[in-house]
Structure 1
């Protein structure tokens, strides 16, 4: 129950971080991988919320 509460608090930060990685992609191409990793992890967290 506590973890679900934490995920709700942290989920906005995931979207903010995705925006930051999109901006940094223009600066440094290496951030492409990290953006994909964060995007997929955010989606898995959201899908786990829908299941529970």
Structure 2
């Protein structure tokens, strides 16, 4: 029983760490995409305003 409990707690810790890493990775990907959009979006707008 003790070994099973230890295994379950380890599994829970691994799952929680995995979820945290996954959430951080998603936030990082969204952040990079938003930065790229912010970096790419202004030039076309200024070109449209120029003429």
TM range (shorter): 0.3 to 0.5
Between the two structures, name the one with larger relative contact order (CA 8 Å, sep ≥ 6): 1
Determine which structure has more spread, i.e. the larger CA radius of gyration: 2
| TM-score normalised per structure 1 | 0.45
